[in-house]
Structure 1
């Protein structure tokens, strides 16, 4: 994706200039000094080790320390990266000279860790959910504002190249006035203590507002069976466009499970499973008359072993962390921040309060 980002009056090319990015680093491209951003990582679980730690090698950061709940995990991951390790995040924040922390632990702990990190003078990237209640999210908003520290929430789908391309077309109004948004995320069973809306579907509540703006109202239908949930949501946005979101944990993980369709009064875009992108333009041809110019398709070229063809990039993990770092370095508010999350969690709470028992 040929997205261009402007920062400090200079033009920085995105994914296609990854080699230049590696050679110069983000600070070099921004015209800043060569000192790397110092970070600590709180969390050593499966998601962190599969998707976040590996992304650090593409970023201009210096990992100083890690923290986990158990000594065995902390020691193992600390040894893997050759850094100091802790089992108490307060000790990491007190002893390490760091600029930011990345947080990916059990969601019940996120709010308290974020509060402590910002009070300690650190910018924070935290996986969703940043908190369990709207009251806690409000407290995080107030702390971020008072301490002047960035608090970014990990809604990485915003940063997937296909969804970034959709956002680009919406921002430039090349699709025309937005009219309809259709989303589905159909997955396999969730763990006993998880709700598919809170753990998975929340990405699409966030993505819907990222694309079409604030939601005005939502009508909720749901079906509960065998400990799993299916939701059908009808949305009206503040701009009067409509949307539908279908979310279910009644299927399997071993199938294509995600689809997003965006319609304007001129053209439309479709994203299948985050990697297949289609732009459909209106045609004046009569039905039944072949047209070779109304549809453009894109998908990754997996036969070429480039960095951008990896899941870390295609799912948005590298790009979301890069955005977090750029926001700190340029002192510009990050997108997907705690203020954005407040609206998303308001609607999650509304849906949960209005579903059938």
Structure 2
């Protein structure tokens, strides 16, 4: 682990959007990244000046003004989903690499517009569930021969689907289904690959399931739960041989035990080559592994973005292409109303 002051090669970056979310999550992550924060951009003059003073950089009220006065390599964008397409395209047209927070846009066609403006720049979208340690471990396990072929997945997340999907798609505001529903959707799509069909079944309160029919034959069940705050989210990934469960940041791999029906008497037989394995943050020391930036994946998505720039490679995770597929699934979930919508 290196800290910002220890990196020899740094990327000159501008931060577009320094509101509450950015100040709590994106700006603090800069302490661990190979970057030099050159400028912050925000419409609010007072917040901009104070934040720029804190980070030893310059404040601008518009990205265009920042591009005209600063030599930067990349931008981190965290504004509203309605503004993301405009600012992403603006940055791409200026030749900048782009990291952008989710949700990337309001509609799938907005992502297509961004793709049309991208050339050789690195673009990574902040899907923290895809980059979280739990998702990285799940990917490792699912791709191992011991897990067996992936069969199905379950996501349990507090959520409702707007009953009038067409109205929701046309609304100017960001719905909770877009803002947070893409967390479990992105997790399952990162593991399962391309989605061929989407079926939403819900009651009059908007509770129910979104079934993902993956092109590989895998089935995904996004169960929209109710429950107390703080939120409790669960994921289960089922293979032919093993099962992996995630509850918040706790990961449990169920490997089974030597078993014979009518004969097995010991649920904890000798040996350590079977049974369950558990990974979880220690929560007893002030170490990095216990910080939300790391347990939730936000550091990893931004470090991945920086590494792709420094190594001059195109990203394979959190791409615009993945975002386009995700937005199509999001839209299909709204329009399904009990019928399966098949995606191209």
TM exceeding 0.5 = yes
Q: 2:122 maps to which residue?
A: 150
Q: Does residue 289 of the first structure (1) align with residue 266 of the second (2)? A: yes
Q: 2:167 maps to which residue?
A: none
Q: Which blocks of at least 5 consecutive residues in structure 2 are unaligned?
A: 163-170, 339-344
CA shift, 1:24, in A, is 5.5
Q: Is the 8 A contact 1:41 1:101 kept in 2?
A: yes
Q: 1:110 maps to which residue?
A: 84
For residues 165 and 285 of structure 1, what CA distance do their matches in structure 2 show? 26
Q: Is the 8 A contact 1:270 1:277 kept in 2?
A: yes
Q: 2:336 maps to which residue?
A: 354
Q: Is the 8 A contact 1:156 1:315 kept in 2?
A: yes
Q: In structure 2, which of residues 213, 219, 240 is the aligned counterpart of residue 236 of structure 1?
A: 213
Q: Does residue 312 of the first structure (1) align with residue 293 of the second (2)? A: yes
For residues 340 and 276 of structure 1, what CA distance do their matches in structure 2 show? 26
Q: In structure 1, which of residues 243, 258, 267 is the aligned counterpart of residue 233 of structure 2?
A: 258
Q: Is the 8 A contact 1:103 1:125 kept in 2?
A: yes
CA shift, 1:135, in A, is 1.9
Cα offsets for 1:110-151 (capped at 9, x unmatched): 00000111111110000112222222211111211xx31112
For residues 169 and 95 of structure 1, what CA distance do their matches in structure 2 show? 48
Q: Is the 8 A contact 1:188 1:252 kept in 2?
A: no
Q: 1:301 maps to which residue?
A: 282
> Which secondary structure does the structure 2 equivalent of 1:108 belong to?
coil
Could you list the runs of 4 or more consecutive aligned residues of structure 1 that deviate by over 4 angstroms after TM superposition? 21-24, 187-190
Question: Residues 240 and 188 from structure 1, CA distance in 2 versus in 1: closer, same or farther, beyond 3 angstroms?
Answer: closer
Equivalent pairs, count: 321
Question: Residues 214 and 68 from structure 1, CA distance in 2 versus in 1: closer, same or farther, beyond 3 angstroms?
Answer: same
TM-score scaled by structure 2? 0.87
For residues 230 and 318 of structure 1, what CA distance do their matches in structure 2 show? 32
Q: Is the 8 A contact 2:45 2:61 kept in 1?
A: yes
RMSD: 2.2
Question: Residues 22 and 68 from structure 1, CA distance in 2 versus in 1: closer, same or farther, beyond 3 angstroms?
Answer: closer
Structure with higher RCO (Cα < 8 A, 6+ apart): 2
Question: Residues 103 and 23 from structure 1, CA distance in 2 versus in 1: closer, same or farther, beyond 3 angstroms?
Answer: closer
Cα offsets for 1:206-251 (capped at 9, x unmatched): 11111111112121113454xxx43411222111121200135x54
For residues 269 and 42 of structure 1, what CA distance do their matches in structure 2 show? 38
Q: Is the 8 A contact 2:198 2:336 kept in 1?
A: no
Q: In structure 2, which of residues 35, 39, 43 is the aligned counterpart of residue 69 of structure 1?
A: 43
Q: Which blocks of at least 5 consecutive residues in structure 1 are unaligned?
A: 1-17, 26-33
Alignment of 1:261-280 (within 5 A): 261-273=236-248, 275-280=249-254
Q: 1:7 maps to which residue?
A: none
TM-score scaled by structure 1? 0.84
